[in-house]
Structure 1
Amino acid sequence: MRKALVVVTLVSLVAFALQFVFAAVGAFTKPASEGAYALHSVTGMAVIPVLILLTTLFAVLAKAPGRLIGLAILPLGLVVLQALIAMLANASTDTAGASTPFGLAIGGLHALNGIIAVHVVVSVHQAARRLADPTPAGASAVVGEREPA
């Protein structure tokens, strides 16, 4: 199970990297359209949540420390926050439907929250690798475990 945890965290990292690529595809598509962000939306609202749930399940099955399990589920909350931030940013337009400074600032928070989520997933992946490492040094360095006295 521990190796499966490492694999699913690596796949999650790839999915998060692709999220940034898909966001750029949407931003640079000309002419701009709602469909330009389709890959970004599907990945963020379906693929990534499934990977987060699998990561959490594998962490539980691998008997990971509670702190690692909590860290594994944290990106799901950040994904929900992402959707809320995107909705607020999209709703913050003027009467003509154009972006407002407030809406753009909220949109910036969407990017910042995405970066935070990536850092959490990197931490989970690193902890999963340490958990799967059969050496005593790797086993004792797992998130939430104390070094032997």
Structure 2
Amino acid sequence: MRKAFFVSTLVLLVAFAVQFIFAAVGGFTRPIGDDAYALHSINGMAVIPVLTVLTALLAALAKAPGRVIGLAVLPIGLVVLQPLIAMLAEALTDASGVSTPLGLIIGGLHALNGIIAVHVVVGVHRAARQLSLAVPAGEAQLVPQEREPA
């Protein structure tokens, strides 16, 4: 279970990295249409939430320390917050659909929240790596005996 926890954190980190790439793809797509951020939306609203819940579940099944399980659960809340921030930023446009300064600031919080989520997942990944390298209780390590000099 510990190896599965470690692998899930690695896959989640890759999904977050891809999420930033998809955001850039949307930002540089011309002409900008409703589907410019389609990949970003699908990854952020389907793939990342499923991987985040899976990682939190595997942390519990791997019998990780409570702090690590708590850190593994934290991105779930951050991921749920992402579309809410994006919707609020979209709602703060003027009557002609042009972004307002407040809407742009809120949009910046969307990116900041994503960066915070990545940093939390990096912490969980480091903890999972340490946990996967640790020898479970009850298993003795075999220490090779050195030969005595002749």
Common fold: TM-score over 0.5 = yes
User: What percentage of aligned pairs have identical amino acids?
Assistant: 73
In the TM superposition, structure 1's runs of 4+ consecutive aligned residues that sit over 6 Å from their partners are none
Aligned partners of 1:76, 1:59: CA distance in 2, in Å? 13
Aligned to 1:120: 120
Aligned partners of 2:114, 2:56: CA distance in 1, in Å? 19
1:13-58 deviations in Å (ceiling 9; x for gaps): 0000000000000000000011010110111111001001110111
Matched, 1:47 2:40: no
- Bigger Rg, which one: 2
Aligned partners of 1:121, 1:86: CA distance in 2, in Å? 21
Q: Which has the higher helix share?
A: 1
TM-score by length of 1: 0.89
Aligned to 1:98: 98
Q: Cα RMSD between the aligned structures?
A: 1.1
**CA shift at 1:83, angstroms?**
1.0
Q: How many residues align?
A: 136
Aligned to 1:83: 83
1:43-96 deviations in Å (ceiling 9; x for gaps): 111100100111011111111111111110111100111111000001110010
Where structure 2 has 5 or more consecutive residues not aligned to the other structure, the ranges are 137-150
TM-score by length of 2: 0.88
Aligned partners of 1:68, 1:95: CA distance in 2, in Å? 46
Aligned partners of 2:104, 2:11: CA distance in 1, in Å? 31
